[in-house]
Amino acid sequence: MKKETKRPIQSKKRYLFAFIIGTLIFILGFSITYSISYIEFQRISNFQDITSYSIFYDKLEHTLFNKDICAQSTFREISEDLGFQGRIIDDLERKFGKDNKDVLFRKDFYNLVELEHFEFINQINKECNNNQNNNIQTILFFYSNKKTDLGKSEDTGRLLGTLSQRNKNLIIYSFDINLDTNIIQQLTDKYNIKTSPTIIINNKDKLENPENINQIEKYLENKESNKDYDDNVIRL
């Protein structure tokens, strides 16, 4: 029987070359991913700064320079910008994870911008309530990203999205109750948020686990004498 001849060992240079090529591809892929991430975060950061400036400037024009707040029209554009910011943050969560520290910081900053805008809208409604057709309606949406609550929160989010498309005078502010920040703690204490999802309608009615759009719209109508309160609605 003939002995099997050993196959010649391939050149070490060939293995080294393949290793170098693989390493370069990995570094290139990592660099591209990092660059995209950096661009995304810079984009939302710059956009948030611009929106914040617009809100602060509009409020100062009224409080410091006595500009007629009822003639203010830019709030609609700012409101659209807020909604766009929210969608960007949702996209960042999907790409980098809900626990990513940079994403959490952006969410925290976004909450501050939302509340500044919410305060401005309340001021407009208070001082311009002579024109009911221009009354701006608001919903504070408290949701949770925990697995046990995520499905219900997403369902309510879709309901509110449809509702927002129907009503041009409606502004929705979203808050993650699991975000470990002082502002979220203060908000949940102020409105006594115990479950998710919960919505606050026009800063007057608290509705837990909304079931459908009609149930929410009943409280958006703002007709005090015609409201038949559901068991899961609390008058604030």
One domain, residues 104 and 161 = no
One domain, residues 146 and 96 = no
One domain, residues 125 and 146 = no
Domain total of the chain: 2
**CB-based contact 134:75 (threshold 8 Å):** no
Q: In this structure, what token pair is assigned to residue 129?
A: 């309530």
One domain, residues 124 and 33 = yes
Give the per-residue pLDDT at 225: 45
Give the per-residue pLDDT at 49: 74
Global confidence as pTM? 0.74
What is the C-alpha to C-alpha distance for residues 70 and 127, in angstroms, rounded to an integer? 7
Is 11 contained in some domain?
no
Residues of the chain with pLDDT under 50: 1, 9, 132-133, 225-226
Q: How far is CA 108 from CA 4, 48, 91, 179, in A?
A: 70, 11, 16, 8
One domain, residues 42 and 58 = yes
Is 42 contained in some domain?
yes
One domain, residues 127 and 141 = no
Give the per-residue pLDDT at 173: 93
One domain, residues 141 and 59 = no
Give the per-residue pLDDT at 198: 94
Please report, for the domain that includes residue 229, its CATH number: 3.40.30.10
Is 1 contained in some domain?
no
One domain, residues 35 and 115 = yes
Is 181 contained in some domain?
yes
Quote the domain boundaries for residue 50: 25-64+73-131
Is 87 contained in some domain?
yes
**CB-based contact 68:123 (threshold 8 Å):** no
